[in-house]
Amino acid sequence: MQARVRRRPISEQELNNIPWLSRLTDAERSCVLEKLYVLDVQPGDFILHRGDTARNWFGVVDGLLKAAVETEGGDTITYTGLGPGGWFGEGTLLKQELFGYNVQALRKSSVACLPYDTFKLLLEHSFPFCWFIMDMFNERLAQFMNTVETDRTLVPEQRVALTIKRLINPVLSPMVGNELQITQQELSYLAGLSRQRVNRALQHLQKLGIIAISYGTIKIVQPEALRNIKTIDRG
DNA sequence: GCATTAACACGTA
DNA sequence: TACGTGTTAATGC
Protein backbone atom coordinates (compact mmCIF):
# COMPACT_ATOMS: atom_id res chain seq x y z
CA MET A 1 0.00 0.00 0.00
CA GLN A 2 2.75 2.41 0.92
CA ALA A 3 5.53 1.19 -1.31
CA ARG A 4 7.14 4.61 -1.56
CA VAL A 5 7.25 5.06 2.20
CA ARG A 6 10.55 4.10 3.81
CA ARG A 7 10.81 3.12 7.46
CA ARG A 8 14.05 3.65 9.36
CA PRO A 9 15.50 4.44 12.81
CA ILE A 10 15.63 8.05 13.89
CA SER A 11 18.93 9.89 13.54
CA GLU A 12 20.79 11.69 16.32
CA GLN A 13 20.23 15.02 14.60
CA GLU A 14 16.48 14.49 14.33
CA LEU A 15 16.11 13.91 18.07
CA ASN A 16 16.36 17.66 18.49
CA ASN A 17 13.13 18.05 16.54
CA ILE A 18 11.13 16.11 19.12
CA PRO A 19 10.10 18.77 21.63
CA TRP A 20 8.90 16.52 24.47
CA LEU A 21 11.98 14.29 24.56
CA SER A 22 13.89 16.68 26.80
CA ARG A 23 11.15 16.43 29.42
CA LEU A 24 11.75 12.74 30.04
CA THR A 25 14.05 10.94 32.45
CA ASP A 26 17.00 9.05 30.99
CA ALA A 27 15.21 5.75 31.53
CA GLU A 28 12.06 6.95 29.79
CA ARG A 29 14.09 8.44 27.03
CA SER A 30 15.94 5.24 26.21
CA CYS A 31 12.67 3.34 26.37
CA VAL A 32 11.25 5.70 23.75
CA LEU A 33 14.31 5.46 21.52
CA GLU A 34 13.97 1.68 21.43
CA LYS A 35 10.49 1.90 19.95
CA LEU A 36 10.48 5.09 17.93
CA TYR A 37 10.97 4.94 14.19
CA VAL A 38 10.73 7.31 11.24
CA LEU A 39 8.81 7.20 7.97
CA ASP A 40 10.19 9.04 4.97
CA VAL A 41 7.30 10.12 2.78
CA GLN A 42 7.00 11.82 -0.59
CA PRO A 43 4.63 14.64 -1.56
CA GLY A 44 1.10 13.23 -1.82
CA ASP A 45 1.78 10.15 0.31
CA PHE A 46 -0.75 9.36 3.01
CA ILE A 47 0.58 8.90 6.54
CA LEU A 48 -2.84 7.65 7.56
CA HIS A 49 -6.29 7.27 6.07
CA ARG A 50 -9.68 7.93 7.58
CA GLY A 51 -10.79 4.62 9.09
CA ASP A 52 -7.28 3.41 9.93
CA THR A 53 -6.71 1.77 13.31
CA ALA A 54 -4.81 3.95 15.78
CA ARG A 55 -1.55 2.18 16.54
CA ASN A 56 0.90 5.07 16.75
CA TRP A 57 1.35 8.60 17.87
CA PHE A 58 2.85 10.66 15.07
CA GLY A 59 5.20 13.63 14.97
CA VAL A 60 6.61 15.76 12.19
CA VAL A 61 10.39 15.62 12.31
CA ASP A 62 10.73 17.50 9.07
CA GLY A 63 8.40 18.62 6.28
CA LEU A 64 4.78 19.61 6.11
CA LEU A 65 1.58 17.56 6.47
CA LYS A 66 -2.10 18.24 6.04
CA ALA A 67 -4.95 16.75 8.09
CA ALA A 68 -8.14 16.78 6.07
CA VAL A 69 -11.34 15.01 5.04
CA GLU A 70 -13.11 14.66 1.71
CA THR A 71 -16.76 15.62 1.40
CA GLU A 72 -19.21 13.55 -0.65
CA GLY A 73 -19.11 16.28 -3.25
CA GLY A 74 -15.39 15.80 -3.63
CA ASP A 75 -14.33 18.97 -1.86
CA THR A 76 -11.51 18.89 0.64
CA ILE A 77 -11.93 20.26 4.14
CA THR A 78 -8.58 20.95 5.74
CA TYR A 79 -8.51 20.61 9.51
CA THR A 80 -4.98 21.75 10.08
CA GLY A 81 -1.44 21.87 8.77
CA LEU A 82 1.33 20.12 10.67
CA GLY A 83 4.87 21.46 10.66
CA PRO A 84 8.16 20.41 12.28
CA GLY A 85 7.71 19.62 15.97
CA GLY A 86 3.97 19.06 15.62
CA TRP A 87 2.49 15.82 16.99
CA PHE A 88 -0.91 14.35 16.22
CA GLY A 89 -3.18 11.33 16.61
CA GLU A 90 -3.17 11.27 20.41
CA GLY A 91 -6.91 11.85 20.62
CA THR A 92 -7.80 8.88 18.46
CA LEU A 93 -5.11 6.81 20.13
CA LEU A 94 -6.39 7.49 23.65
CA LYS A 95 -9.92 6.58 22.71
CA GLN A 96 -8.75 3.54 20.76
CA GLU A 97 -10.93 4.52 17.85
CA LEU A 98 -10.46 4.69 14.10
CA PHE A 99 -9.01 7.82 12.58
CA GLY A 100 -11.64 10.21 11.32
CA TYR A 101 -9.39 12.10 8.94
CA ASN A 102 -6.58 11.68 6.43
CA VAL A 103 -3.06 12.90 6.93
CA GLN A 104 -1.10 13.55 3.76
CA ALA A 105 2.36 14.91 3.02
CA LEU A 106 2.40 18.21 1.16
CA ARG A 107 6.12 17.90 0.63
CA LYS A 108 8.89 15.38 1.22
CA SER A 109 8.68 14.76 4.95
CA SER A 110 9.97 12.66 7.82
CA VAL A 111 7.37 11.47 10.31
CA ALA A 112 8.21 9.91 13.67
CA CYS A 113 6.00 7.09 14.94
CA LEU A 114 5.68 6.10 18.58
CA PRO A 115 3.77 2.85 19.23
CA TYR A 116 0.67 3.04 21.43
CA ASP A 117 2.13 1.02 24.30
CA THR A 118 5.07 3.38 24.69
CA PHE A 119 2.84 6.41 24.40
CA LYS A 120 0.59 5.00 27.11
CA LEU A 121 3.55 4.19 29.31
CA LEU A 122 4.73 7.79 29.15
CA LEU A 123 1.28 9.09 30.01
CA GLU A 124 1.13 6.83 33.05
CA HIS A 125 4.61 7.58 34.35
CA SER A 126 5.62 11.08 33.36
CA PHE A 127 3.95 14.23 34.59
CA PRO A 128 6.07 16.45 32.34
CA PHE A 129 4.90 14.40 29.37
CA CYS A 130 1.31 14.71 30.49
CA TRP A 131 1.73 18.44 30.65
CA PHE A 132 3.00 18.49 27.11
CA ILE A 133 -0.07 16.59 25.96
CA MET A 134 -2.37 18.81 27.99
CA ASP A 135 -0.87 21.99 26.58
CA MET A 136 -1.30 20.53 23.12
CA PHE A 137 -4.94 19.58 23.68
CA ASN A 138 -5.62 22.96 25.10
CA GLU A 139 -4.10 24.78 22.16
CA ARG A 140 -5.74 22.53 19.61
CA LEU A 141 -9.12 23.04 21.23
CA ALA A 142 -8.62 26.79 21.14
CA GLN A 143 -7.77 26.64 17.44
CA PHE A 144 -10.82 24.63 16.52
CA MET A 145 -13.11 26.79 18.62
CA ASN A 146 -11.65 29.77 16.87
CA THR A 147 -12.33 28.05 13.55
CA VAL A 148 -15.98 27.54 14.38
CA GLU A 149 -16.28 31.13 15.40
CA THR A 150 -14.61 32.84 12.49
CA ASP A 151 -13.69 30.68 9.53
CA ARG A 152 -16.83 31.04 7.45
CA THR A 153 -16.83 34.79 7.56
CA LEU A 154 -13.22 35.36 6.59
CA VAL A 155 -12.09 37.05 3.40
CA PRO A 156 -9.07 35.43 1.67
CA GLU A 157 -6.55 37.81 3.26
CA GLN A 158 -7.83 36.85 6.69
CA ARG A 159 -7.95 33.16 5.85
CA VAL A 160 -4.33 33.20 4.73
CA ALA A 161 -3.29 35.17 7.80
CA LEU A 162 -5.08 32.69 10.06
CA THR A 163 -3.52 29.72 8.28
CA ILE A 164 -0.06 31.21 8.83
CA LYS A 165 -0.85 32.04 12.42
CA ARG A 166 -1.83 28.42 13.11
CA LEU A 167 1.29 27.06 11.46
CA ILE A 168 3.59 29.11 13.65
CA ASN A 169 1.77 28.24 16.87
CA PRO A 170 4.64 27.62 19.33
CA VAL A 171 2.74 24.95 21.27
CA LEU A 172 1.53 22.92 18.29
CA SER A 173 4.60 23.46 16.10
CA PRO A 174 7.42 24.06 18.58
CA MET A 175 10.19 23.75 16.00
CA VAL A 176 8.79 26.40 13.68
CA GLY A 177 10.06 29.86 14.48
CA ASN A 178 9.09 33.06 12.73
CA GLU A 179 10.43 31.84 9.43
CA LEU A 180 7.87 29.57 7.82
CA GLN A 181 9.36 27.27 5.19
CA ILE A 182 6.39 26.91 2.91
CA THR A 183 5.54 27.49 -0.74
CA GLN A 184 2.52 29.48 -1.77
CA GLN A 185 1.16 26.32 -3.39
CA GLU A 186 1.36 24.43 -0.09
CA LEU A 187 -0.24 27.33 1.73
CA SER A 188 -3.07 27.31 -0.77
CA TYR A 189 -3.80 23.65 0.02
CA LEU A 190 -4.03 24.47 3.71
CA ALA A 191 -6.05 27.65 3.30
CA GLY A 192 -8.43 26.16 0.76
CA LEU A 193 -7.74 28.84 -1.84
CA SER A 194 -6.09 28.95 -5.22
CA ARG A 195 -2.36 29.61 -5.38
CA GLN A 196 -2.98 32.81 -7.29
CA ARG A 197 -5.35 34.15 -4.67
CA VAL A 198 -2.93 33.22 -1.90
CA ASN A 199 -0.24 35.12 -3.77
CA ARG A 200 -2.39 38.25 -3.80
CA ALA A 201 -3.25 37.88 -0.13
CA LEU A 202 0.41 37.42 0.80
CA GLN A 203 1.40 40.52 -1.10
CA HIS A 204 -1.26 42.43 0.76
CA LEU A 205 0.03 41.17 4.11
CA GLN A 206 3.53 42.10 3.05
CA LYS A 207 2.42 45.60 2.11
CA LEU A 208 1.02 45.94 5.61
CA GLY A 209 4.43 45.00 6.97
CA ILE A 210 3.09 41.91 8.72
CA ILE A 211 5.11 39.37 6.73
CA ALA A 212 8.09 39.33 4.37
CA ILE A 213 7.88 37.05 1.35
CA SER A 214 10.92 35.35 -0.14
CA TYR A 215 11.61 32.26 -2.21
CA GLY A 216 9.93 29.31 -0.48
CA THR A 217 9.81 31.18 2.81
CA ILE A 218 7.50 33.52 4.65
CA LYS A 219 8.96 35.52 7.48
CA ILE A 220 6.47 36.66 10.07
CA VAL A 221 7.39 40.18 11.14
CA GLN A 222 4.36 40.93 13.28
CA PRO A 223 2.81 37.68 14.56
CA GLU A 224 0.23 39.54 16.65
CA ALA A 225 -1.05 41.40 13.62
CA LEU A 226 -2.08 38.16 11.90
CA ARG A 227 -5.18 38.02 14.01
CA ASN A 228 -6.66 41.30 12.95
CA ILE A 229 -6.50 41.81 9.21
CA LYS A 230 -8.79 44.56 8.11
CA THR A 231 -11.00 44.12 5.10
CA ILE A 232 -9.68 46.54 2.54
CA ASP A 233 -10.32 48.15 -0.81
CA ARG A 234 -9.04 46.31 -3.83
CA GLY A 235 -6.95 47.87 -6.57
C1' DG B 1 -17.94 40.93 -8.38
C1' DC B 2 -14.87 37.72 -6.99
C1' DA B 3 -12.47 33.35 -7.01
C1' DT B 4 -10.67 29.65 -9.94
C1' DT B 5 -8.27 27.61 -13.76
C1' DA B 6 -4.97 27.80 -17.27
C1' DA B 7 -1.17 29.62 -19.32
C1' DC B 8 3.08 32.11 -19.57
C1' DA B 9 7.47 34.68 -18.37
C1' DC B 10 10.85 35.02 -15.26
C1' DG B 11 13.80 34.14 -11.15
C1' DT B 12 16.01 30.90 -8.08
C1' DA B 13 18.09 26.61 -6.17
C1' DT C 1 16.66 21.72 -15.40
C1' DA C 2 12.97 21.73 -12.11
C1' DC C 3 10.47 24.39 -9.26
C1' DG C 4 8.44 28.65 -7.13
C1' DT C 5 6.60 33.21 -8.02
C1' DG C 6 3.98 36.96 -10.15
C1' DT C 7 0.75 38.22 -13.62
C1' DT C 8 -3.03 38.06 -17.01
C1' DA C 9 -7.10 36.29 -19.59
C1' DA C 10 -10.94 33.28 -19.77
C1' DT C 11 -14.54 31.05 -17.21
C1' DG C 12 -17.98 30.06 -13.63
C1' DC C 13 -20.90 30.78 -9.55
- Digit-coded pLDDT (tens) for A94-111: 999 999 999 999 999 999
> What pLDDT is stored for residue A74 in this prediction?
75
> What pLDDT is stored for residue A4 in this prediction?
67
Asked if strand C comes closer than 7 Å to A188 Cβ, the answer is: no
User: Using 50, 70 and 90 to split pLDDT, how confident is the model at A2?
Assistant: very low
> What pLDDT is stored for residue A1 in this prediction?
43
Query: Between A89 and A230, whose confidence is greater?
Result: A89
Question: Which nucleotide is closest, CA of A185 to its C1'?
Answer: C4
- Digit-coded pLDDT (tens) for A141-185: 999 998 887 877 899 999 999 999 999 999 999 889 899 999 999
End-to-end CA distance of chain A: 49
| C chain positions with any atom within 7 Å of a protein CB | 3-9
- Digit-coded pLDDT (tens) for A63-87: 999 999 988 777 888 999 999 999 9
- Digit-coded pLDDT (tens) for A190-225: 999 999 999 999 999 999 999 999 999 999 999 999
> What pLDDT is stored for residue A231 in this prediction?
67
Q: Are strands A102-105 and A109-115 parallel, antiparallel or unpaired?
A: unpaired
Its pTM surpasses 0.85: yes
Asked if strand C comes closer than 7 Å to A169 Cβ, the answer is: no
Question: Which nucleotide is closest, CA of A203 to its C1'?
Answer: C6
| B chain positions with any atom within 7 Å of a protein CB | 2-7, 12-13
- Digit-coded pLDDT (tens) for A39-66: 999 998 999 999 999 999 999 999 999 9
